A and B are shown apart, each in its own frame.
Chain A
Amino acid sequence: GQNIDQPTEMTATEGAIVQINCTYQTSGFNGLFWYQQHAGEAPTFLSYNVLDGLEEKGRFSSFLSRSKGYSYLLLKELQMKDSASYLCAVRDSNYQLIWGAGTKLIIKP
């Protein structure tokens, strides 16, 4: 079966750095996505990785290793508004998006 694993919840301090990991086992691979979802709102796109390596976009970076079935989302200079759930999703060989359950990130002052 297809599976995406990410931690259920993480806590970090304002101004610090946090890394949210995602491992996946899917039938084929056509890209990995990270989305941010604030409580009661729809997911919003953060990043897309299809090749190995690091993609940097401002305070957020995303890393992919296809051979390891592994990705992480790195958030720097954390702000209170970064408190949200972060969803990892993989597009499989049928181009269907397979979603992880999300990681709830709690930022403390």
Chain B
Amino acid sequence: SAVISQKPSRDICQRGTSLTIQCQVDSQVTMMFWYRQQPGQSLTLIATANQGSEATYESGFVIDKFPISRPNLTFSTLTVSNMSPEDSSIYLCSVEQGATEAFFGQGTRLTVV
């Protein structure tokens, strides 16, 4: 199994500002995944973070809005830039071990006012 420490757990931010979310894994993993979960909705994959290369973004998400860093095999950050109230959501980082299980950080509950 993998243990993921994600912070902050929650934040209230002013529109137009940026927030960086950090995830630390207790083991080395090739890929880390960043999800958004809006109330009552499914997890939506934002991007896949690979160490040593640029993140791969899903349709509807762009690097300028959600820059990602992956400096090593145990750590990644996601920044939500120039925030608006529509960015209010839960953001989750995740890693997978093999093809049979995904592990999640505790999530960051973001409120933009």
| A positions within 8 Å CB-CB of B | 4, 8, 30-31, 33, 40-45, 48, 50, 87, 89, 91, 95-97, 99-102
Segment at the interface with A among B13-21, B71-79, B101-109: B101-109
Give 14 CB contacts A-B under 8 Å.
A4-B42, A8-B40, A33-B101, A43-B104, A45-B103, A48-B101, A50-B100, A89-B43, A91-B99, A97-B45, A97-B102, A99-B43, A100-B42, A102-B42
Partner of B104, one of A42, A91, A100: A42
Q: Would you call B80 an interface residue if the criterion is a C-beta within 8 Å of the partner chain's C-beta atoms? A: no
A41 and B42 form a contact (CB under 8 A): no
The CA of A43 and the CA of B101, in the complex, are separated in Å by: 11
Q: Would you call B53 an interface residue if the criterion is a C-beta within 8 Å of the partner chain's C-beta atoms? A: no
> How does the 8 Å CB contact mask read for B35-48 relative to A, with 1 for contact and 0 for none?
00000111111000
Please count how many residues in chain B sit with their CB below 8 Å of the partner chain's CB atoms.
Answer: 17
Partner of A30, one of B41, B99, B102, B103: B99
> How does the 8 Å CB contact mask read for B56-95 relative to A, with 1 for contact and 0 for none?
0000000000000000000000000000000000001000
| B positions within 8 Å CB-CB of A | 40-45, 92, 99-107, 109
